[in-house]
């Protein structure tokens, strides 16, 4: 039961510079029974520095999945959480860390869930945060709020693990219809953008915040597969009329 839940959870590290941090992340994960690590274009990996820092969690490094883009790492996930030390201009829906831990356990009983961590120096870009349903912030010193990458993973992993140590109130499944995976949402956003350009509602030379705002709107709704199909069907109908 425990392992089934945790098997559906993946940690995604985006453009990590220091292999030592990747090793430390593997160790942090293993202490909290997580095992799925996705690496989006790490600077150096595999690397002895990663292996040394992983201690007995080398198996996680051996099984880590390397991908070229964040999109690939989260394509089949229905819930994607992004972590960030700082607020963004376009405020993204956020969840406090304890609530996020509960939500992740609840949803991982049904489908793959990703937690995304950014670059050591610059974190996640706005575009990357916008691929996430929610942003998680670890409350910290307002004058020095940026934790080491592996420390951030450790805290989030612990908040998740806490919920499996407690009696499982979340074990029952909500009778929800099948949620759309990230790749389907991405397909919808690209289709929508095309149509809005065709309609001259969106000027590609001056896109402003329109697409991120629409993405945020649809993200909030946690769209089901069937709903994505309806929306895409509507877009196709608009395109047929236009042509
Ligand atoms: N200067 C960067 C911080 C990078 S720290 C920034 O402003 O975002 C590397 C990564 O660790 C971050 O991308 C994030 O995934 C995680 N992290 C560090 N501190 C965090 C915090 N207080 N809350 C949530 N995630 C944090």
What is the average pLDDT score of the chain?
Answer: 93
Nearest CA to ligand 1 atom 5: 120
Atom of ligand 1 nearest to the CA of 82: 15
Which amino acids bring their CB within 6 angstroms of ligand 1? 83-86, 117-118, 120, 122-124, 136-138, 140, 145-147, 149, 152
pLDDT, tens only, 153-195: 999 999 999 998 765 554 455 556 899 999 999 999 999 999 9
pLDDT, tens only, 98-114: 999 999 999 999 999 99
Nearest CA to ligand 1 atom 20: 85
CA 209 to ligand 1 centroid distance, Å: 24
Distance in angstroms (rounded) separating the CA atoms of residues 28 and 141: 22
175 vs 89, residue with greater confidence: 89
What Cα–Cα distance (Å) separates residue 230 from each residue in 203, 218, 223? 25, 13, 11
pLDDT, tens only, 46-77: 999 999 999 999 999 999 999 999 999 999 99
Q: How many residues does the chain have?
A: 243
Is the bond into 46 cis (omega within 30 degrees of 0)? yes
Per-residue pLDDT band for 86 (boundaries 50, 70, 90) equals: confident
The token pair that represents 59 in the structure block: 């198996």
Provide the percentage of residues in the chain whose pLDDT is more than 90. 88
Backbone angles phi, psi at 186, to 5 degrees: -60, -40
Q: What is the 3-state secondary structure (H, E, C) of the chain?
A: CHHHHHHCEEEEEECCCCHHHHHHHHHHHHHCCCCEEEEECCCCCCCHHHHHHHHHHHHHHHCCEEECCHHHHHCCCCEEEEECCCCCCCCCCEECHHHHHHHHHHHHCCCCEEEEECECCCECCHHHHCCCCEEECCCCCCCCCCCCHHHHHHHHHHHHHHHHHCCCHHHCCCCCCCECCHHHHHHHHHHHHHHHHHCCCCCCCCCCCHHHHHHHHHHHHCCEHHHHHHHHHHHHHHHHHHC
**Which distant-in-sequence residues (6+ apart) come within 8 Å of 67 by Cβ?**
38, 39, 40, 41, 73
């Amino acid at each position: 039961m425990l392992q089934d839940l945790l098997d559906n959870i993946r940690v995604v590290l985006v453009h990590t510079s220091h292999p030592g941090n990747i090793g430390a992340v593997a160790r942090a994960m293993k202490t909290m029974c997580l095992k799925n690590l996705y690496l989006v274009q790490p600077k150096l990996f595999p690397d002895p520095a990663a292996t040394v820092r992983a201690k007995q969690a080398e198996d996680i490094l051996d099984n880590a999945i390397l991908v070229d883009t964040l999109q690939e790492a989260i394509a089949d996930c229905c819930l994607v959480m992004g972590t960030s030390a700082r607020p963004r201009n376009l405020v993204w829906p956020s969840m406090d860390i304890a609530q996020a831990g509960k939500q992740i356990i609840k949803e991982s009983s049904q489908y793959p869930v990703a937690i995304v961590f950014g670059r050591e120096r610059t974190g996640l870009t706005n575009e990357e945060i916008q691929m996430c349903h929610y942003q998680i912030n670890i409350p910290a010193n307002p004058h020095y709020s940026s934790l080491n990458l592996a420390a951030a993973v450790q805290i989030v992993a612990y908040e998740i693990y806490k919920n499996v140590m407690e009696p499982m109130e979340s074990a029952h499944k909500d009778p929800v219809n099948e949620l759309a995976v990230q790749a389907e949402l991405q397909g919808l956003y690209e289709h929508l953008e095309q149509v809005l350009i065709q309609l001259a509602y969106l000027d590609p030379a001056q896109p402003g915040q329109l697409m991120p705002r629409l993405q945020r709107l649809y993200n909030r709704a946690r769209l089901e597969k069937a709903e994505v199909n309806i929306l895409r069907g509507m877009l196709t109908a608009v395109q047929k009329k236009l042509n």
